[in-house]
Amino acid sequence: MFWELLIQFLSLEHRREMRRYLHNHQNKDGGWGLHIEGHSTMFCTALSYVALRLLGQDVDDESIQKARSWILERGGVTSIPSWGKMWLSVLGVYEWSGNNPIPPELWLLPYSLPIHPGRMWCHSRMVYLPMSYLYGRRFVGAITPIILSLRGELYVCPYDQIQWNQSRNLCAKEDLYYPHPMIQDVVWGCLHNVGEPLLNRWPLLKLRQKALSTVMQHIHNEDESTQYVCLGPVNKILNMICCCLEDPNSEAFKLHLPRVEDYLWMAEDGMKVQGSNGSQLWDVALSVQAILSTGLNDECGSMLKTAHDFIKNNQVRKNHSGNLSQWYRHSYKGAWPFSTADNGWGVSDCTAEGLKASLLLSQIPEEIVGEAITKNRLYDAVNVILSMQNDNGGFGTYELTRSYNWLELLNPAEIFEDIMIEYS
């Protein structure tokens, strides 16, 4: 149901241009890479294949046939990395029993433990948050004819004969950037074979229910404090699925839908989804500095005034999260984000560039660039920058470093490295 709602929300032009973008960047071998110039990977090829089919591409289309051959020559999508396993499980073309555990109960642990999710790098934390909810609920979308067809298209043997438990740790060699350390296989094996059966039975089932409720509170807080834009596109869509699962008629789900547009970008090669809801503040702050360095203040006066207004309007003026420690959030009062104030996540270097541009503009007469930003707001920006300095002297991006490098031993994402904690 969710996929049908989302696709219906996209206009016919969106769908056409998304297909065009994927076709434009299909590699000669039939696959897709993590980057448009990169080698084909199972993660990107399988998800691009599924996306095209959901967007209406026929199973006999030449590009689809080439992609399917690439997938089947490598044993089918049982070897898709863990993030892909999760997405396909939600869709209904992979079984949750073929996933390594993403236990929502981790959010109930004491924060003093180094493995608490609140100590993770915010991008990983905000992605694994809704993932843990979907895993804990074992959510599967509606099994429609196209889902049944995909079950037959993506595997080398009949779907009901696949050994899912043996697929948990499979990863195609093209995708294996960060192999699991042995400790992970031991941890996931124990959780899968012992922990999960217990947590899905009374009385521990109550613990799971409490964990799911806690996770959903964190999801709502992230949504509300970012005006439903969220930190990035992955956690935005995952949060939206969770809100739909909780209640498809909820106000939260309705508020999520229109903000999908924030991430869509029409370019010469088709419709794409950006890695954030833009880079507006970053671009404006640096452009202002470049223009001012030329000394063409009078010639560019109207442009500088508009840019100045944008910078002032997109400083984070207050913390939206109430008790920040409850939501594991840093104080961003006075910060500038990478994109817009709606996003709400302050970034140290974006704040520095916004501060510098504001100081430079304050030295130009008001009749050219408008009223200067107030001193108190400048002080707030300085305070938030200094608050992000780590003990080693370096600065975090969004937050201070909260845990230890050894946490990378538990990084379950085979396609990314150094994603578990914030680094200077």
Give me the active site residues, please.
349
Run of H or E including 356: helix 348-362
Give dist(CA 342, CA 340) in Å, integer: 5
Contacts of 78 (CB under 8 A, 6+ apart): 98, 155, 162, 167, 170
For helices 82-91 and 42-54, what crossing angle results, to 10°? Answer: 20
Which residues are 265's β-sheet partners? 272
Which two three-digit tokens encode residue 293?
């360095």
| Residue whose pair of structure tokens reads 């031991």 in the numeric block | 186
Say how far residue 108 (Cα) sits from the centre of its chain. 22
Q: 321-348: buried (b, 16+ CB within 10 Å) or exposed (e) per residue? A: beeeeebbbbbbbbbbbbbbbbbbbbbb
User: 3-state DSSP call for residue 216?
Assistant: helix
